[in-house]
Homo-oligomer: A and B are copies of this chain.
Amino acid sequence: MTTRSSAEAARDIPEATVARLPVYLRALTTLAEAGTSTCSSEDLASAAGVNSAKLRKDLSYLGSYGTRGVGYDVDYLRYQIAREIGVTQDWPVVIVGIGNLGHALANFSGFRSRGFRVVALLDADATRTGEEVAGVRVRPFDDLEDIVGEHGVAIGVIATPAVAAQDVADRMVGCGISSILNFAPTVLSVPAGVDVRKVDLSIELQILAYHEQRKAQGETA
């Protein structure tokens, strides 16, 4: 299990690198829109907010897509990163919990433009179903299994209150979803093989508060 088949490239991209590839992708898109066709690692690194050594090392995990003495072809590199991440294809996504946050997410244009397609908005509250948000009708949560089966959905977004999040996750996992983006402030437990990423506003603010407090302490000390 440690060695891979010889046909497939020995791809084992570090997690820290995976998390930065989307940043590079966005920076490349910005450069392309500005009419730049070639860029050095220095250029791209500064657009992405990292140092150039790190950028080159990250890109080296994908292969040798640059030219020494010249730099990288913007469009070519962009395609290679997109392919590596998997956003050259479209990923169907369901959003569960169409309250304050769910509405904002449904209206978020960044889904479409980045290889994701919202195929359904689901809510358990019957008074919300039928409403149309960003061109998609809100449907009852119980339609989850049907929708996931029909569209082959692999990615689910949870924007329900914390108390409901584990139940929603269980239902998602039960019908084959294997990647979850969780906005509810709670720890989800899922079986091995299912990826969960969380976005947690309170945690981010508390981290800022910690550093802020230390800055203040330093001043008065």
Residue A207, interface by CB 8 Å: yes
Q: Please measure, in the bound complex, the distance between the C-alpha atom of A110 and the C-alpha atom of B201, giving whole angstroms.
A: 8
Shortest Cβ distance from A208 into B: residue? B179
Q: Please measure, in the bound complex, the distance between the C-alpha atom of A200 and the C-alpha atom of B87, giving whole angstroms.
A: 16
Number of chain A residues close to chain B: CB under 8 A = 60
Q: Are A208 and B181 in contact (CB under 8 A)?
A: yes
CB distance from A154 to the nearest CB of B (A): 5
Q: A22-B207, A26-B185, A209-B85 are in contact. Are A215 and B193 (CB under 8 A)?
A: yes
Q: Please measure, in the bound complex, the distance between the C-alpha atom of A87 and the C-alpha atom of B197, giving whole angstroms.
A: 25
Residue A84, interface by CB 8 Å: yes
The B-contacting residues of A in range 141-168, CB under 8 angstroms, are 154-155
Query: A114 touches which one: B154, B187, B205 (CB < 8 A)?
Result: B205
Quick one: which of A180, A200, A203 has the most chain B CB within 10 A?
A: A203
Q: Please measure, in the bound complex, the distance between the C-alpha atom of A204 and the C-alpha atom of B195, giving whole angstroms.
A: 11
Residue A199, interface by CB 8 Å: yes
Chain B contacts for A121, CB-based, 8 A = none
Q: Are A210 and B85 in contact (CB under 8 A)?
A: yes
Q: Are B23 and A187 in contact (CB under 8 A)?
A: yes
- What per-residue 1/0 map shows which CB atoms of A78-104 lie under 8 Å from chain B? 000000111100010100000011011
Q: Are A208 and B104 in contact (CB under 8 A)?
A: no
The B-contacting residues of A in range 180-216, CB under 8 angstroms, are 180-181, 185, 187, 189, 193, 195, 197, 199-213, 215
Quick one: which of A21, A85, A202 has the most chain B CB within 10 A?
A: A202
Which 4 pairs, one residue from A and one from B, show the smallest C-beta to C-beta distance? A86-B213, A49-B187, A179-B208, A22-B206
Can you report 14 residue pairs joining A to B where beta carbons are below 8 Å apart?
A18-B207, A18-B210, A21-B210, A26-B185, A27-B187, A84-B210, A85-B209, A85-B210, A86-B213, A91-B205, A108-B201, A114-B202, A195-B212, A199-B199
